[in-house]
Amino acid sequence: MRFLMVVAIWIVIVGGLWNYISHRDAKRELIVAATPIDLTIEGQYTLEITPTFSTEQDPFALKTSDNTASSFEVKLNGNALDMNVLEFQRGETIRKAKVGGVLTGHNEIYVNASPPLSENTLEHGIRVKFYQDNTLIVDRTVWADQGALVSGTISFNHSQTEEASHDH
Amino acid sequence: MKKSFIYTLVLFCSLLYSSVIVANEVKKPIVVASTTQIADFARQVAGDRLVVKSILAPGADPHTYQPTPDDVQMVLDADLCLENGLHLEGKNWMSTLATDAGKTIITTTDGIQPLSISSGGEKVADPHAWFSPKNVAVYVNNIVKGLIQFDPDGKEEYEARATLFLQQLRVLDSWVRQQINRIPTQRRILVTTHDAFNYFCTEFKLNANNNFLSIAPVGWSTGAEVGGGMTPERRRKVIQSIKESGAPALFVETTINPKQIREIAKETGVKIGGELYSDSMGPEDSAGETYIGMMRENVILIVNALK
């Protein structure tokens, strides 16, 4: 009798615990993910990239099946920008007009490029200029030395009010 | 009543404890590599997602290694095997172990253009490809592809870790060039116990008087393969080369008995520059326990002895 009572109490406790855990997880699934608000700003944006080096294929690139080794990469807010060239040439400015995806508030331009390994004793950089219409809103340079990839993120804040003040 | 409550509590706690233990003991897949270097490359890619083991212990020689019953068991327990290939593993012991156990094996040097060494009229592909960081990038890419094929869910993780490691290799390559550049060109003479440093000499331009290849009394293998071991002819040529080139120092290797090179040092009057990591990395907690650490320590030793 006593043993049966122990088993019964045990079943009640473990069953209760199991019931609590399964319902707790079920409640979590009911939470609906918030829909991101579209903060994209309309306007004519232009990106200019000027490297101090000519890019070359990186022998240290990851070369998995769907990941072709590219010698440079440019992104705006995490979205890749097609710069319409295969390689960067030293000192040559590459312009990308009609850049979309600029957000109100925090924005990021990411650049990553492979300078020649033979120039590992030189410091290398990429100058990044970003225009709204004809107004320069970002002018920064990403540097690297000791043979590392020239890789960095340029952050800038951009707002509608700033946009308005630039118009005047 | 009180007693039954205690029984219940004890039963409940032990049940809860055992379920926690079972949950924590989720068995991770096992990857077994033949050498310490390959195990390090695999760990850099796999992180804690997989268990990576090496058959060779630090300091062991892959050319002459004889697998033990424990190694057979390790490969039987493995989900995936990795080897260097190019006959680094004497008599292909790693591929034999994997084939006998019915396990998939990846040859991590696939795609590398091996250096060809002439020895006794025979051409042999040099297996010590890891001495060029560019080649290590090929090893890493082969490991990433192999791990993705084995565990497609881990693709993003493997690629993220590999990207970081490849960038470290790129910086290492550049750093080695800068360090070697500190040695006057006429003093860039690297004499080691066995022919393991051909890729290093070719990549970083040492031993110009020997077509940028290793100078060593023992051939590419310490075993009995074609072009391996030490012959009186090789020994004579090395002594001649040391005298003619004015080598500032000779180097012993961690995986090989230093007796021969010490005798040559005595005979030629050239100092011993130190002990280099070659076919194996250093033991746990040593500076050479990782590939990058091993290369860094080797380069610092070489530069200090030769500059």
Q: What is the mean pLDDT of chain B?
A: 90
pLDDT at A35: 61
Which CATH number fits the domain that encloses residue B51? 3.40.50.1980
- The segments of chain A whose pLDDT lies below 50 read 162-168
Q: Which domain holds residue B151?
A: 30-109+117-171
Q: Does A5 touch chain B (CB under 8 A)?
A: yes
- Coil, strand or helix: which one is A112? strand
Q: What is the pTM of this model?
A: 0.82
Whether B65 is in a domain gets the answer yes
Helix or strand run (H / E) with residue A131: strand A124-132
CA B24 to chain centre: 32
Q: Does A67 touch chain B (CB under 8 A)?
A: yes
| Cβ atoms of A19 and A11 closer than 8 Å | no
Model confidence pLDDT, tens digit, residues B93-116: 999 999 999 999 999 999 999 999
Rounded-to-integer distance, Cα B179 and Cα B202, Å: 15
Model confidence pLDDT, tens digit, residues B231-265: 788 888 889 989 988 999 999 999 888 888 899 99
Counted domains in chain A: 2
Q: Which domain holds residue A95?
A: 45-167
pLDDT at A165: 43
Q: Is the pLDDT of residue B28 over 70?
A: yes
- One domain for residues A86 and A118: yes
Q: Do residue B178 and residue A121 have CB atoms under 8 angstroms apart? A: yes
Distance set, CA B66 to CA B37, B75, B92, B229, B278 (Å): 18, 14, 11, 17, 19
Q: Is the pLDDT of residue B21 over 60?
A: no
- One domain for residues A68 and A131: yes
Contacts of B162 (CB under 8 A, 6+ apart): A62, B44, B45, B140, B141, B143, B144
Q: What is the CA radius of gyration of chain B?
A: 23
- One domain for residues A107 and A68: yes
**Residue B114 identity (one-letter amino acid):** P
- Residue B175's DSSP bridge partners are none
| Cβ atoms of B149 and B177 closer than 8 Å | no
Model confidence pLDDT, tens digit, residues B158-201: 999 999 999 999 999 999 999 999 999 999 999 999 889 999 99
Contacts of B245 (CB under 8 A, 6+ apart): B189, B209, B215
Whether A37 is in a domain gets the answer no
Model confidence pLDDT, tens digit, residues A50-71: 999 998 888 999 988 655 556 7
Query: Domain boundary residue among B127, B151, B171?
Result: B171
Whether A39 is in a domain gets the answer no
Whether B138 is in a domain gets the answer yes
- One domain for residues B34 and B145: yes
- One domain for residues B203 and B160: no
In angstroms, the separation between the Cα of residue A45 and the nearest Cα of chain B is 31
Contacts of B169 in chain A (CB under 8 A): 60
Query: Domain boundary residue among B146, B171, B196?
Result: B171
Q: Which chain A residue's Cα is nearest to B169?
A: A60
Give the nearest partner residue to A149 out of B5, B155, B167, using CB atoms.
B167
Q: Which chain B residue's Cα is nearest to A18?
A: B16
* Best residue in A14, A55, A60, A122 for a mutation probing chain B (most B CBs within 10 Å): A60
Helix/strand/coil (H, E, C) string of B239-277?
A: HHHHHHHCCCEEEEECCCCCHHHHHHHHHHCCEEEEEEC
**Residue B157 identity (one-letter amino acid):** E
Whether B11 is in a domain gets the answer no
Rounded-to-integer distance, Cα A157 and Cα A137, Å: 9
Contacts of B254 (CB under 8 A, 6+ apart): B59, B275, B276, B277, B278, B280, B282, B288
